[in-house]
Structure 1
Amino acid sequence: MSNYSWSHQIAPNTLNIKKSILEWFGIILLLLFSFLNNFTLLISLLLLLLLLLQREIGAIKIINIITLRTIINPGIAVSISEYQNLKWLILFGCSIYLLFSYFKLGKKEVKRIKGILILVSLFTVYNIAVALLFSSLPIIAIFKLMSYVVIFAGVLIGVGYTFNKFNWIKWMFNLFKLLMVISFFMISLPVSYLRNGYSFQGLTNHPNMFGIFSVLFIALLISFSNTSKESLNNKFFLIFSSSLVLFMVTLSKSRTALISCLILVLLYALFSNQGKISKIIIAVFSSIGFIFIFIGTNISNFIMEFLYKGQSQGENLLYSRMNQIESLTENFYRSPWFGNGFAVPVLPYRSFEFSSEFVVEPGNIILAVLSYSGIFGFLLFILYLVRIFWLNKKYFTIICFLPISTLLISMGEMVFFSSNNIGIWCYMFLAIYVFFIPERINLKIN
């Protein structure tokens, strides 16, 4: 009788594993097919919609796969920008579909996110008013605002509806691992330095993109290690993987990414078993040092070159950021209480046109929100971020790396509101944090 029961328990698990492997195989083939030309990219985007057969889970997968496809190295694949309108249609369509999942949520889930959604709604109404009253480009400001809010809320609600039947940490880790492993094997290839000839970008479209992607990967790696029942919990694997990623980040010359990765590693050490802190720190930094020695790099010279990014060492260390900082500061002083409109430049004239040509590079999330929304909007933004962090204070030390990483990368590369880019992964990380309840999703806490 016990053998019969055991066989019936194992069979469904084996079937699920096989289905998962087949699905990943299909996703990889679809991504590779999309690399060839514009026609295969179009076919791939349409075929990707078959994942909607999995309903809400499929919609979330589609959003994340499109985000991955967006940042692929242009030396390897055709740019998805050729089908920007179709991409937006799919992202908005899937997000609106997920929004309707709100009516399927249980009382506990509704209670968990109701406060967040109320504060986000207030932030939205406030910024629409600011756009209409103060912005140089009100229509564009409102569109950018809604592209953030709709996708953010859709992802939050979608993860809330599916978290107890799907392990999003594991799935996201596998997605990220795919890009990271391929990038590692591309270190010696010229195409990995396509952007400027000396900064490593791997499979991504920019060295800074690879850097911030690596920060998110480190956060996922630690979170998955803390919650998984699999052999990945082996500390040696965690240390070895982190060391390799940190080495690749140094090759990318992304200062924001390196600092952010080190902060996450130190937080992990702080929240780990007290007896292991020194061992973990020593192991990680010893591994990095060994890699430098192995490749014969002068560490002192490398660090100076890394910090100055090819500038003269007599110049301001933050020279590459000065224009962004000065522009945001000027915009803030122009309208300190209410801001100048969401994610749009400040112009000497006012226009109600709609165009994708008006691009801003905010650089820092704090200065960006102050510039966009003023002090009042900044307070609303801080309120719903605090609400998000407070919701899962019970498991903060286990899973906090996910939300913290989204803020760390946005301190130097402000991607948080970029739903057209990897902002979607920021929303995924926040949503996973909010709904991380181990006893409800049968996860192990290490």
Structure 2
Amino acid sequence: MIIKSSTSHIEDGKFRIKKNTLEWVFIISLLLFSFINTTTLIVSLLMLLVFFKQKEIGAIKIINIITFRTIINPGLAVSIGNLEYLKWTILFGCSIYLLLSYHKLDKRDIKKINSIIFPLLLFTIYNIFVAFVFSSLPVVAVFKLISYVVIFVGTLCGVGYTFSKYNWIKWMLTMFKIFIVFSFVIIPLPVSYLRNGTSFQGITNNPNMFGILAVLFIALLLSTLQIKIYIKNITLIVLPIITMLMVFLSKSRTAFISCLVLLCIYLIFLNCNKYLKIITLNILGIGFILLLLNSSVTNFFTEFLYKGQNQGDILFSRANQIETLISNFMLNPWFGNGFSVPVLPFKSYSFSTEYLVEPGNLVLSVLSYSGVIGFLLFLIYIIQIFVVNKENFKNLCFLPIAILLISMGEMVFFSSNNIGIWCYMFLSIYIFFDIKKSKVNL
């Protein structure tokens, strides 16, 4: 009986692996088909709805795959921006469906979500007030706010309900491995440098976007190591090396610094003898100092960080963004000027998706959007996200920290129509992960 049971378990495992492989073949084929033209893109987006067969799990996959498709290099595929309204319809539909899973959560998970949703709702109500009283574009501001809140909370509820049934860490890791591998393959091709001709962007639409994805991949990889998920040597050794190589080619300072910070945190939390850890940290620290003493290495890092600007102008490329955000904040420091909308000399109740802002930094952005009061409300639920699963902070802290790190240089946190969904996925995985309950699924 034991032998039969063991054999049955092995066969089930092989069947799941085969099923997952076929699913990823289908996803990649669907994405490649969507590259051809607008018609194939429409067909591909509609075909994604077949994942609703998997109910909540399928809905989460749909919004993640759409995010994947959104940031594909325009030199490789037709832009999804031509189908903005169809994209939003699917994203909202999936998110509202996931919101309905709230009542299916167990009491402990409902308590976790409520501790975050309550300050988030206060932040939402406050920003609706700011939109109609102080914003130049109140309707646009409210739409952007609602899209952020609905998709964020939908992702929270969906991941919370399905986390015990599905290994989202492995699924997300596979998705990012596809990005890394395909980007590496096209390094020699001109399309990899399409944006400005010099900075590497791989299969993404921007060098900075590639840098963000690299940080998220490293964060996922460190998380899998910390919680001892089995991963193949090629993923563990080769992919991180080529990822860092491509980060250098992308010239993304945010990505480079963020990756170093995550690696340092991993060494601090590494499960090993404390004396061995101290010795390792000291050796790495001494080695880094010795490297910096080498003039050629110092010149290389200086050139990388300054991006060709004169020394002392390290923030030159972001000067306009920072100046605009500070200027907007000073216009109305307590209440702000409206959620994710530009400050105009007139008030308009029209609606358009054409009103774009380039905030650049999470802290300055929230201060500009919502003032000091809104920033304090925002800070409450961000802190609550870290606190709500403090028992597992050591295991998965890389995920929320990575989100904050990239948002300090590339503010994507509120971009629900871009990679904001991945921010919410990472935060949700951190919130609901429990090393004791997840042993079976790992």
TM, length-normalised to structure 1: 0.93
CA distance in 2 between counterparts of 1:347 and 1:169 reads 42
Q: Which residue of 1 aligns with 2:365?
A: 368
Q: 1:286 to 1:56 in 2, by over 3 A?
A: farther
1:381 aligns with 2:372: no
Once the two structures are superposed, residues 196-243 of structure 1 have per-residue CA deviations (whole angstroms, 9 ceiling, x without a partner) of: 0110001100000001111111101111222244244x6x96354333
| Mapping of residues 18-167 of structure 1, within 5 Å | 18-167=18-167
Corresponding residue pairs, total: 436
Shift of 1:277: 6.0
Shift of 1:315: 6.5
| Mapping of residues 27-426 of structure 1, within 5 Å | 27-232=27-232, 238=236, 240-272=238-270, 273=272, 274=274, 275-276=276-277, 279=280, 299-311=297-309, 313=310, 316-426=313-423
Once the two structures are superposed, residues 381-429 of structure 1 have per-residue CA deviations (whole angstroms, 9 ceiling, x without a partner) of: 1100111100111111110000000000000110000001011100000
Letter in 2 for 1:436: F
8 Å Cα contact 2:412/2:418 also seen in 1: yes
Q: 1:225 to 1:280 in 2, by over 3 A?
A: farther
8 Å Cα contact 2:75/2:194 also seen in 1: yes
Letter in 1 for 2:216: L
Q: Which moved more, 1:318-327 or 1:243-252?
A: 243-252
Shift of 1:14: 2.0
8 Å Cα contact 2:262/2:402 also seen in 1: yes
Letter in 2 for 1:398: N
CA distance in 2 between counterparts of 1:282 and 1:222 reads 21
CA distance in 1 between counterparts of 2:125 and 2:42 reads 36
Aligned residue among 414, 433, 436 for 2:433: 436
Once the two structures are superposed, residues 97-116 of structure 1 have per-residue CA deviations (whole angstroms, 9 ceiling, x without a partner) of: 00000011111111111111
Q: 1:68 to 1:237 in 2, by over 3 A?
A: closer
8 Å Cα contact 2:164/2:441 also seen in 1: no
> Which SS does the other structure have where 1:439 is aligned?
coil
Q: 1:285 to 1:249 in 2, by over 3 A?
A: farther
Q: Which moved more, 1:383-392 or 1:4-13?
A: 4-13
8 Å Cα contact 1:240/1:284 also seen in 2: no
8 Å Cα contact 2:223/2:398 also seen in 1: yes
Shift of 1:282: 6.4
> Which SS does the other structure have where 2:373 is aligned?
helix
| Structure 2: runs of 5+ lacking an equivalent | none
Letter in 1 for 2:302: M
Q: 1:347 to 1:170 in 2, by over 3 A?
A: same
Q: 1:277 to 1:15 in 2, by over 3 A?
A: farther
Q: Which moved more, 1:278-287 or 1:151-160?
A: 278-287
Letter in 1 for 2:23: E
8 Å Cα contact 1:51/1:62 also seen in 2: yes
> Which SS does the other structure have where 2:355 is aligned?
coil
CA distance in 2 between counterparts of 1:184 and 1:279 reads 30
Q: Which moved more, 1:270-279 or 1:199-208?
A: 270-279
Q: 1:231 to 1:134 in 2, by over 3 A?
A: closer
Q: 1:404 to 1:218 in 2, by over 3 A?
A: same
CA distance in 2 between counterparts of 1:94 and 1:119 reads 24
Q: Which residue of 2 aligns with 1:295?
A: none
Q: Which residue of 2 aligns with 1:294?
A: none
8 Å Cα contact 2:180/2:239 also seen in 1: no
CA distance in 2 between counterparts of 1:282 and 1:141 reads 51
Q: Which moved more, 1:350-359 or 1:410-419?
A: 350-359
CA distance in 2 between counterparts of 1:14 and 1:316 reads 56
8 Å Cα contact 1:269/1:281 also seen in 2: no
Q: Which residue of 1 aligns with 2:17?
A: 17
Letter in 2 for 1:165: K
